[in-house]
Structure 1
Amino acid sequence: MIKRLPNFLTILRIGLVPIFVALFYWGGDMRTFGATGVFAVAAITDWADGYLARRYQGVSPFGTFLDPVADKIMVATALVLIASSGEMPALLAGILISIIVGREITVSALREWMAEVGERKKVAVSWLGKAKAATQMISILLLVYERPVRGLSARTLGTALLIVAAAMTLWSMVGYLRAAWPSLQGNSGAHLDRER
C-alpha cells in the first residue's frame, strides 16, 4: 500500500490544478488562503512522493514519468495565472516566465535524449536544480498569497524571488548543457528521429 502512495500523491497533484485555477480566479480570501493552500499542498506532495518512493522502494516507471510532468503542469499553470492577473509588469512577467518554462522544456528534452543514448545520469537533478525549484515554489506562493507578510509586500518579495529563480534557472540549464555537451557533439544520437 505504501509503495503505491507516491503515485497517488502525484496523481493528486495533477487533480489539484483545476481546483487551484478556480480558487485563483474566485479571488479574495478564496485566492489568498484557498489557492495558496492548494499550491502549498502540491509543493509538499512534490517532496513527499519522491521521499516515500525512495524510502519504501516504491519507485516505478509510471511515477518516474508522471512526477516531473505533474510538477511542470502546476508551476506553469500558476505562472500563467500570475502573468494574466496583470499584477506584475507585463514585460517582466513575460521574460521571467519565458525563461522558466523554456528551461523546463529544454532540460526535459535534453534528459529524454540523454536517456535514449544511455547517458541520463549526466543530467541528473543537481543541488542547483533543487535550490531553483524551492526558490520558485516560495516565489509563487508569495505571488498567489498577495497580502502583506509581516508588513512586507508579498508581491514585491515574490517578484524578487522569481527573478532569483529565473537566474538560477539559466545557471542550472547551462550546467546541464555543459554536462551533456560531449554527448551532443558525438554521433551516438545520429540514429534518432530529428524531426520529432
Structure 2
Amino acid sequence: MSKQTMTAPARWVCVYCGSRDGQNPIYREAATALGTALGQAGYGLVYGGARVGLMGAVADAALASGAPVHGIIPRGLSERELAHDGLTRLDVVETMHQRKLGMIEAADGFIALPGGFGTLEELFEVLTWHQIGWHDKPVGLCDVDGFYGPLVRCMHHMRDQGFVSAANIARIGVAHEPQALVARLFEPMAASTDMS
C-alpha cells in the first residue's frame, strides 16, 4: 500500500539491520545517521518495513531528511515487528523469501548495519548472488564501533582457506561512519574498501 506518490530517487539503497536497538546506543545513532545520509545524497531507502529497533531508526531518519522509504514485510511479522505505518510505500508479502527478493530487486546497492541472524542471512544472500553472477550491485558493511570486525576476520579466514575468492572479499566496502559508506557506495568497491 502506498501512502503517497513515490518520487524516483537517484538510487535505492537496501539497508539490512536489527529489529532491536542492541546494547550500545551508538548502533541507533548510526542507524539515524545512515538514514539522514541517504536522504542528503538523494537516495531512497528499501528495508524490512518495521518501525522498531534500528529498522525504525533508519526509516524515520530517512523520511525526516526527505527520502522516499519503501518497506517490505511479511504478513506474519507485521504485528511482531510492528510494521511502520508512515512509509512512502509499505508492501505486505506472504513469505520471507518474497520479502528478501523484493528488497534485492528494488535496490541498487546494499548496506548492513549491526543486527542478528536475519541481518547476516540477508547480507550473505546478496554476497552469494553476486559471487554466482546474479547481480553486480555494491555491498557495504557499516562497521559501527567494530561490530563487524569478527565477521571480517572470519571472511578473511574463508578466503585464506580457499573457499572465497580474494576478488569477492575485496569488493565489500567497509566503513565505520555511515556518511562515509554512503558517499562511496556506488564507487568501484575494490578501490574503496578498508577490508585489506
Measured against the shorter chain, the TM-score band is under 0.3
TM-score, length-scaled by structure 2: 0.24
TM-score, length-scaled by structure 1: 0.24
Which has the larger share of helix? Answer: 1
Which has the larger share of strand? Answer: 2
